[in-house]
Amino acid sequence: MMEIKVPELAESINEGTIVEWLKQEGDYVQNGEPIAELETDKINVEINSDFSGIIKQFLFMPGDTVQVGQVIAILDENENHFGNVPEPELKPESLILEKEKPNNNLVASPAARKRARELGVSLDEIPYKDPLGRIRVEDVEDYKKSHRDLTNNEPNHQPANTVTKNQSNQLKVDEKDQQIERVKMSRRRQTIANRLLEAQHNAAMLTTFNEVDMTAIMDVRNRRKESFNKKHGVKLGFMSFFTKAVIGALKEFPFLNAEIQGDEILIKKFYDIGVAVSTDDGLVVPVVRDADRLSFAGIEKEIGVLSEKARNKSLGLKDLQGGTFTITNGGIFGSLYSTPILNAPQVGILGMHKIQRRPVVIDDEDTIEVRPMMYIALSYDHRIIDGKDAVQFLVKIKELLESPEDLLLEG
């Protein structure tokens, strides 16, 4: 017999949650073949088998938490465990007897084991239909149903019409309880929840707002999008403009590109910009490294690669670690106005929102025009950033975005 253990994952990850088994007990696996998907606080990883053989037993269920180095499965190195053993011919009556006979070497699917525990049923009592003696979920359900039917057919000696008012009210409450679905939070969701709460508890977070006239950026994009795509093989989106504008503002207000450690402020002279990406499992923030050294095309390509990896659950730890400032875009979901929460230990985050055409006063001309406008929000840690600096930082971003040709010349 051989043991499959949870491998070393990363310096900061000591445990994970089994999402699903990619094989079944009784399956043959080769050395290096994935057998399980594991969810950690930051990423999902596949656990590969270190040996070739037959999966004898899974020691944990999907949803269970396992530690690095812990044994999670047992393999039988005999590759012919099931393959070349002829199945004995069984007469119908012997099949019936076999189904009723307890099995001391039970093989049950993980789902069957979990369901049996939930129903309080012993696997030894459950007759199986599989020729190989494998108990499945259906066998557990059928067994429980047959015993429930027997129980329901027993005579009821309770006197009729003795339900009290309190019992009646309790019945109504029980009916409501049946309409409530309990969903266990995934490890990723628990981590997100804890970090958001931590950010609010550990920082003096405030938010300031402004608005951007997107006319000039949209004009540049419309004029250059075809040539840009043809030259670089990527679309010219809004994120490259916002990333460049953020970097320009951070260079003037370096305390927003910092973090607090004890009684010191660490001002970072590099610009690793986190870009929030929504996935089915929640929000992740991959990092565009040294974004100040990238061109518009380089930023768009890097964001495209990271977003695709996020959606495919293939982000590595290096993709997520060490950002200095974050940009999040609630506008893709239709948000007009929001207060983004800090991505600790960072001290600043910029929120983008939906572009909406609305009437605005044109200052230089004293006229009213319909313009594509976007509200932008800056959440910041007031412990090291004064309100004046936060407001001026956001105004600088506004000015850079409303003069995009300058950004293009610089980047």
Active-site residues, by number, are 382, 386
33 sits in the region (left: phi over 0; alpha: psi -120 to 50; else beta) called beta
Task: Report yes or no: 62 and 35 within 8 Å, Cβ to Cβ.
Answer: no
Nearest to 343 by CA among 329, 322, 319, 326: 326
* Contacts of residue 341, Cβ cutoff 8 Å, sequence gap at least 6: 196, 199, 200, 205, 349, 379
Partnered with residue 266 across adjacent β-strands are: 259
**Residue 10 DSSP symbol:** B
The token duo for 152 is 């329901």
> At 278, is the secondary structure helix, strand, or coil?
strand
Q: Of 330, 311, 287, 283, which Cα lies nearest the Cα of 189?
A: 283
Maximum pairwise Cα distance, the chain = 97
Phi/psi at 101 (5° precision): -90, 130
Q: Is residue 273 within 8 Å of 292, Cβ to Cβ?
A: no
Helical H segments across 253-328, by residue range: 296-311, 317-320
Burial class of residue 245 in the structure, from the number of CB atoms within 10 Å of its CB (0-12 exposed, 13-18 middle, 19+ buried): buried
Adjacent-strand bridge partners of 368: 361
Query: What does the DSSP assignment read for 36-91?
Result: EEEE-SS-EEEEEPSS-EEEEEE-S-TT-EEETT-EEEEEE--TTTTTT-PPPP--
